[in-house]
Amino acid sequence: MVQPTSTYTLSDAEKRDLTALIQSGKPLPEKYRFILFEDKREVELVWNGKSREVCTTVLPFQTLEHVDEPRRETKQVRPQIEMFDSRGRQMGGWTNKLIWGDNKLILSSLKAGALRRQIEDAGGLKLIYIDPPFDVGADFSMDIEIGGETFHKEPNLLEQIAYRDTWGRGADSFISMIYERLILMRNLLAEDGCIYVHCDNRVSAFLRLALDEVFGRDCFQNAVVWHYRRWTAASTSYQSMHDLLMFFTRSDSYTFNPVAIDPTASQQSVIEKGYNVNVVKSKAGKIRQLLVYDRNRVEELIAEGRIDPEHYGRIVYIDRKDTVAPDVWTDIQFIHSQANERIDYPTQKPEALLERIIKASSNEGDLVADFFCGSGTTAAVAEKLGRKWIASDLGKFGIHTTRKRLIGVQRELKAADRSFRAFEVLNLGRYERQAYLNVSPRLSGAQREAALTAKEREYRELILRAYAAEPLAGDAFFDGR
């Protein structure tokens, strides 16, 4: 007998109906879920196959390459001598990670594998930014320009499987995919860490509820609107001109460095890096004035000779307490077609966007991560800002693009005589049979046997498809030809 947990009293007719339904093995009407059973969750996102079980597989990482742009000799003496030598070359400490593979397996292996100690020794993972594939129905194909020619890249086998697992059942499979990964990311985050999830209006409602469940509603900080300009076009509805950044924290203790944006400067302002001032320019690009929110700091910089007041024409000291950026960002635009940072990667985001996030929610020397890294913007900006980083992607083209971009960043920093960290390109052995055949340890003996049989069949079919092979019947030594 179930004791109702609410003040609602069941009528005799309802009791008879419930008894008949239970005896016939039929499902109960949804309203009885709230009458009969205690549940502290006020709102819950439900989808087919929902489960809080996550991947527990731990696989070894294989190092494919160690990348460290060599330096020329210089007499300049650098700080942190235990980490970098007199030429700025890394001698020890954390080595940045670029990982190719399924981020579900990567996250579970980072959480419970050998690299977890390295992450803890590096101070813990302080910031995660992800831009998951929210382009509903899109596949992994893309056009690539190489040497002036355009090539069409078809998805490889792993990308085809990822597409099936992400969108095979529409929104159900997307939420199932991202929900499991969010749980793993939360477990990997430091107690004072935070996460930004980039999305648009197609999946923002799903993601907000999933994040509420995983991180807790009390850990929601902001839904930042990134507003950008587009060429206007004929449309039967309002033109989409913004994305959302869901900002959650692991706890109520986290890093937040206020970012000042002067609303009067609008699109013509750029933030002077690290000085809490705005440079206001004319349409022709000429500097008109310097807006200062921290008088003491700027006066120190002038005394040190690091700011020349005559260069700015006029310094305006602004005495206001509220210097924190609003939750609507209008001063960061799409990457211009002629911009130096543009590499023609379909999902590439502007460096200014990641610069603001990384500056606001981490400090120099902190470890940040992006597990859907794409073209590598997060890693590139993190390196330039003196942060440690982990970046991963399933697509081999994304890994190649990020690798090339990070080598360029190393060369850029070397030319500026600034220190940089080496990075290693890692692979996760997701092709191993024992990884594919992993099943939940909570299953009973019969359930485990059935699940292993099903996964064995799927794995065999996967390998046969990979080799375009025809299966052979029976228990022959060869599975296909």
Provide the pLDDT for residue 168: 56
DSSP 128-162: EEE----STT--S-EEEEETTEEEEEPP-HHHHHH
Q: How far apart are CA 325 and CA 37, in angstroms?
A: 44
Query: In this predicted model, what pLDDT tens digit does every residue of 183-238 receive, in sequence order?
Result: 999 999 999 999 999 998 888 888 999 999 999 999 999 999 999 877 766 778 88
Number of helical H runs and strand E runs in the chain? 14, 16
Q: What is the rounded distance in angstroms from the CA atom of residue 231 to the CA atom of residue 239?
A: 10
What's the one-letter identity of residue 168?
Answer: G
3-state secondary structure of 288: strand
CATH number for region 61-255+349-428 = 3.40.50.150
Instruction: List CB contacts of 7: < 8 A, sequence separation 6 or more.
Output: none
User: Which residue has 């030594």 as its token pair?
Assistant: 477
Mean pLDDT of the chain: 78
Predicted pLDDT at 64: 84
Could you write out the DSSP letters of every residue in 335-380? PPTT-TT----TT---HHHHHHHHHHH--TT-EEEESS-TTTHHHH
Give the model confidence (pLDDT) of 238-254 as tens digits: 888 899 999 999 999 99
Band (321; pLDDT cuts 50, 70, 90): very low
- Predicted local confidence at residue 444, as pLDDT: 83
Q: What is the pLDDT averaged over residues 428-447?
A: 67
Q: Is the pLDDT of residue 96 over 70?
A: yes
pLDDT number for residue 179: 93
Using pLDDT thresholds of 50, 70 and 90, give the confidence band for residue 356.
very high
Residues sharing a CB contact under 8 Å with residue 6, sequence separation 6 or more, in sequence order: 34, 35
Question: Quick one: average pLDDT of 322-336?
Answer: 76
Block residue for tokens 């839904």: 223
Q: What angle do CA 361, 184, 158 make, to 5 degrees?
A: 110
Q: Which of 50-59, 88-97, 244-253, 306-315 has maximum average pLDDT? A: 244-253
Crossing angle, helix 171-188 and helix 204-215, to 10 degrees?
Answer: 40
Asked if residues 340 and 370 have their Cβ atoms less than 8 Å apart, the reply is no
- Using the predicted structure, report yes or no on whether residue 4 has a pLDDT greater than 50: no
Alpha-carbon distance 445 to 249, whole Å? Answer: 39
Let me know: does 112 contact 353? Beta carbons within 8 Å: no
Residue 438: what are its φ and ψ, rounded to 5°? -70, 130
Q: Is the pLDDT of residue 376 over 90?
A: yes
Give the pLDDT score at 12. Answer: 87
Task: Tell me the three state secondary structure of residue 451.
Answer: helix
Domain boundaries, the chain: 1-39, 61-255+349-428, 266-317, 439-481
Beta strands 315-317 and 328-329: pairing type?
A: unpaired
Query: What is the mean predicted confidence (pLDDT) over 91-112?
Result: 89
Highest mean pLDDT among 76-80, 220-224, 327-331: 220-224
Residue 287, both tokens: 């500097």
Q: Is residue 224 a contact partner of residue 244, using CB atoms and an 8 Å limit?
A: yes
pLDDT of residue 183: 96
Look up residue 22 and give its two tokens.
């239970």
The count of other CB atoms within 10 Å of the CB of residue 197 is 26
**Model pLDDT, residue 126:** 97
Q: Does residue 80 or residue 411 have the better pLDDT? A: 411
Query: Quick count: other Cβ atoms within 10 Å of Cβ 72?
Result: 7
CA angle 460, 437, 183 (to 5 degrees): 130
- B/e letters for 50-65, b = 16+ CB within 10 Å, e = fewer, are eeeebbebbbebeeee
Sign, CA torsion 19/20/24/28: negative
**Does residue 299 have a pLDDT over 60?**
yes
Measured CA distances, 423 to 74, 160, 403 (Å): 22, 28, 9
Task: Kindly report the backbone phi and psi dihedral angles of residue 290, in degrees, each rounded to the nearest multiple of 5, phi listed first.
Answer: -115, 120
Q: For 427, list phi and psi in degrees, rounded to 5.
A: -125, 140
Q: How many Cα atoms sit within 13 Å of 174 on the Cβ side?
A: 17
Q: For the residues 388-405, what does the mean pLDDT come to?
A: 92
Q: Out of 49-63, 172-186, 210-224, 383-397, pick the least confident.
A: 49-63
> For 120-170, how does the pLDDT look when each residue is reduced to its tens digit (9 = 90+)?
999 999 999 999 986 544 555 656 555 556 666 666 666 666 655 655 566
Q: Which of 100-104, 269-273, 335-339 has the lowest mean pLDDT?
A: 269-273
Mean pLDDT of 275-288: 53
Q: The whole model's pTM is what?
A: 0.68
Nearest to 367 by CA among 220, 255, 467: 255
Q: Which residues, including other chains, have CB under 8 Å from residue 133's CB and lie 6 or more apart? A: 166, 347, 372
Query: For residue 74, what pLDDT band results from cuts at 50, 70 and 90?
Result: very low
Share of the chain above pLDDT 70, in %: 67
Q: Of 21-35, 183-197, 298-312, 401-415, which range is least confident? A: 298-312
Across 376-397, average pLDDT? 94
